[in-house]
Amino acid sequence: MEDSYAISATLKGDIDSFEILVNRYYRGLFNHLYVMVRDESLADDLAQESFIQAFKALRRYNPEYRFSTWLYRIGTNLALKSLRKQRSIRLDDIPELPDGHDPGKATIVEQTEAQVRAAIALLPLKYQTVISLFYWHDQSYDEIATTLSVPVGTIKTWLHRAKQALKHSLEESLWID
């Protein structure tokens, strides 16, 4: 079922249709929010709240945009609000390897990916957010600009600076030139 059909059906009272959207986008949104807040439990709560807010405001959804763009905007705003409340920078913001993961047995690919994730986690939040949306959630510049409510030019600048910072932090270990 296409998003537009599920939204239309939900607005007509078929709440089960909304579940299709939840199933389709929950995991992606959850991962995007995790990149922002670095707390699985909080990301889960925020993802859940995002869908609830989307449901409540569904009549305001503008079909000119992809549903996912609108949803990510809601989620991103919730994450930013949550982060503003925290106010402190946590030392354990660097992502940990999954439970049961033995660094000694990790493949080179896994180690590289973990290094990249760690480097991304050290970037300013706005750069992390842009990277998450652009590379991992396939949003265009325009869509990211909509999600974050900033001009497209700013998004391009942030992405460029984020990549420069990553290149700088990874160039020695990963021979990125």
Partner 1 sequence: MDRLDNLIKTSATNLTPRDDAATRVMRDIQKRRWGRLVPTSRFALPMLAFLMSGLALAGTASYAYYQSNLRPALSRAQLEQRVARQIAAARANNVGLNINEGEIPREPAGISLPSCETTTAELCMYNFGVTNGGEAIVVSEGYFADEAKMRRLAETLFAQTKQLNFASRTPIYSKKIDALNLPLLVQISQDHRQPTATEQAQLDLSTPDRPFGQWNCGSESGCDLEYNYWPGATVADWSNWELASQHVHTLILSKPTSDTPYIK
Which residues form the interface with partner 1 (CB under 8 A)?
11-15, 18-19, 22-23, 26-27, 30-31, 34-35, 40, 43-44, 47-48, 51-52, 55-57, 59-60, 95, 109, 112-114, 116-117, 120, 131-132, 135-136, 163, 166-167, 170, 174, 176
CB nearer partner 1, residue 87 or residue 92: 92
C-alpha–C-alpha distance, residues 65 and 5, integer Å: 14
Helix axes 3-11, 15-37, angle to 10 degrees: 120
CB nearer partner 1, residue 31 or residue 154: 31
Is the alpha carbon torsion for 24, 52, 96, 159 positive or negative? positive
CB nearer partner 1, residue 13 or residue 87: 13
C-alpha–C-alpha distance, residues 45 and 79, integer Å: 10
Supply the minimum distance, in Å, between the C-beta of residue 125 and partner 1. 14
CB atoms < 10 A from the CB of 77, how many?
A: 16
